[in-house]
Amino acid sequence: MNQAHFSRIAGELSLSAAQVAAVAKLVEEGGTVPFIARYRKEATGSLDEVAVAAIRDRLGDLAELDKRREAILASLEERGLLTAELKASVAAAQDKARLEDIYLPFRPKRRTRAMMAREKGLEPLAGALMAQQGRDPLALARPFVSEAKGVPDVAAALSGARDILAEAMAEEPRLRAEARQLFARRGRFQSKVVKGKDQAGATYRDWFAWDEPLRSIAGHRALAMFRGEAEGFLSLSLRPAEEELFELARRAYVRGRGADAKEVEAALTDGCKRLLAPSLENELRAEVKARADAEAIRVFAANLRGLLLAPPLGQKRVLALDPGFRTGAKLAVLDAQGALLHHATIYPTTSAAQREAAAATLKELCTTHRVEAIGIGNGTAGRETEAFVRSLELGVPVALVNEAGASIYSASEIARREFPDLDLTVRGAVSIGRRLMDPLAELVKLDPKSIGVGQYQHDVDQGGLRKALDDVVMSCVNAVGVDVNTASQELLSFVSGLGPALAKNVVAHRDENGPFPTRDSLRKVKRLGPKAYEQAAGFLRVRGPEPLDASAVHPERYALVRRMAKDAGCAVQQLLADAAARAQVRLADYVSDGIGLPTLTDILAELDKPGRDPRAAFSAFAFAEGVSRIEDLEQGLELPGIVTNVTKFGAFVDVGVHRDGMVHVSQLADRFVSDPSQVVRVGQEVLVRVVEVDLQRGRIALSMRGLAGVKPGEGA
Q: 285: closest CA among 191, 196, 178? A: 191
Length of the chain: 716
SS3 at position 291: helix
Can you give the pLDDT at residue 447? 81
Every domain of the chain and the residues it spans: 3-106, 115-300, 318-437, 477-608, 630-703
**What torsion, rounded to 10 degrees, do the Cα atoms 588, 593, 594, 598 define?**
40
- Binning pLDDT at 50, 70 and 90, where does residue 716 land? very low
Alpha-carbon distance 435 to 430, whole Å? Answer: 9
Q: Where are the alpha helices (H) located in 255-276, listed in sequence order?
A: 259-271
What are the tens digits of pLDDT across the range 5-35? Answer: 999 999 999 999 999 999 999 999 999 999 9
Q: How far is CA 525 from CA 35, 166, 488, 532, 533, in A?
A: 20, 66, 16, 11, 10
Region of 241 on the Ramachandran plot (φ > 0 left; ψ -120 to 50 alpha; else beta): beta
Amino acid, res. 70: E
Amino acid, res. 170: A
Alpha-carbon distance 697 to 713, whole Å? Answer: 36
SS3 at position 32: coil
Decide which of 708 and 123 is more confident: 123
What percentage of the chain has pLDDT greater than the value 90?
Answer: 69
What are the tens digits of pLDDT across the range 632-648? Answer: 999 999 999 999 889 88
SS3 at position 144: helix
Can you give the pLDDT at residue 711? 47
Write 622-625 long-range contacts (CB < 8 A, 24+): 622/390, 622/398, 623/383, 623/386, 623/400, 623/655, 623/656, 624/655, 624/656, 625/387
SS3 at position 318: strand
Alpha-carbon distance 287 to 208, whole Å? Answer: 23
Q: How far is CA 630 from CA 390, 654, 699, in A?
A: 21, 11, 9
Can you give the pLDDT at residue 483? 94
Q: How far is CA 36 from CA 25, 105, 495, in A?
A: 11, 44, 13
Q: Which CATH superfamily is domain 477-608 in?
A: Tex RuvX-like domain-like (1.10.150.310)
What are the tens digits of pLDDT across the range 592-604? Answer: 888 999 999 999 9
- Is residue 58 classed exposed, middle or buried when 0-12, 13-18 and 19+ CB atoms within 10 A define those classes? middle
Are 522 and 540 in contact by the 8 Å Cβ rule? The answer is yes
Are 27 and 59 in contact by the 8 Å Cβ rule? The answer is yes
Specify the CATH number for 318-437; select among 3.30.2450.30, 3.40.50.2000, 3.20.20.220, 3.30.420.140.
Answer: 3.30.420.140
CA-angle at 620, arms to 617 and 621, nearest 5°: 115
Q: Are strands 650-654 and 661-664 parallel, antiparallel or unpaired?
A: antiparallel
Are 302 and 679 in contact by the 8 Å Cβ rule? The answer is no
Can you give the pLDDT at residue 1? 63
Contacts of 321 (CB under 8 A, 6+ apart): 329, 330, 331, 346, 374, 375, 376, 377, 385, 389, 429, 432
Spatial strand order in the sheet of 209-213? 209-213, 188-193, 234-239
**What torsion, rounded to 10 degrees, do the Cα atoms 563, 567, 568, 572 define?**
20
- Binning pLDDT at 50, 70 and 90, where does residue 715 land? very low
What is the 8-class DSSP label of residue 312?
P
Say if residue 472's pLDDT is above 80. yes
- Binning pLDDT at 50, 70 and 90, where does residue 713 land? very low
Question: Euclidean distance between the first and final Cα of the chain, in Å?
Answer: 39
- Binning pLDDT at 50, 70 and 90, where does residue 659 land? confident
Q: How far is CA 421 from CA 416, 418, 426, in A?
A: 8, 9, 10
Alpha-carbon distance 615 to 127, whole Å? Answer: 72
Write 203-212 long-range contacts (CB < 8 A, 24+): 203/228, 203/233, 204/228, 204/233, 204/234, 207/234, 208/234, 212/188
Say if residue 406's pLDDT is above 90. no
Can you give the pLDDT at residue 708? 61
Say if residue 712's pLDDT is above 60. no
Q: Which helix (H) or strand (E) holds 210?
A: strand 209-213
What are the tens digits of pLDDT across the range 533-554? Answer: 999 999 999 999 999 999 999 9
Which DSSP string do the residues of 526-550 spell out, in sequence order?
TT--HHHHHHHGGGEE--SS-GGGG
Work out the average pLDDT over 323-330. Answer: 90
Can you give the pLDDT at residue 714? 43
What is the domain class of 3-106 according to CATH?
mainly alpha
Architecture in CATH of 115-300: Orthogonal Bundle (1.10)
Q: Which helix (H) or strand (E) holds 687?
A: strand 685-694
Q: Which helix (H) or strand (E) holds 391?
A: helix 382-391
Can you give the pLDDT at residue 521? 96
Are 321 and 418 in contact by the 8 Å Cβ rule? The answer is no
What are the tens digits of pLDDT across the range 194-250? Answer: 999 988 988 899 899 999 999 889 888 999 999 999 999 999 999 999 999 999 999
Mean of the per-residue pLDDT values for the chain? 91
- Is residue 441 classed exposed, middle or buried when 0-12, 13-18 and 19+ CB atoms within 10 A define those classes? buried
CA-angle at 463, arms to 459 and 464, nearest 5°: 80
Specify the CATH number for 630-703; select among 3.40.1710.10, 2.130.10.10, 3.40.50.620, 2.40.50.140.
Answer: 2.40.50.140
Are 643 and 617 in contact by the 8 Å Cβ rule? The answer is no
Work out the average pLDDT over 450-456. Answer: 72
* Residue 553 C-alpha from the chain's centroid: 30
What are the tens digits of pLDDT across the range 482-497? Answer: 999 999 999 999 999 9
What is the 8-class DSSP label of residue 432?
H
Contacts of 492 (CB under 8 A, 6+ apart): 482, 484, 498, 502, 503, 506, 507
Q: Which helix (H) or strand (E) holds 653?
A: strand 650-654
pTM value?
Answer: 0.83
What are the tens digits of pLDDT across the range 555-585? Answer: 999 999 999 999 999 999 999 989 999 998 9
Can you give the pLDDT at residue 40? 94
Alpha-carbon distance 471 to 483, whole Å? Answer: 20
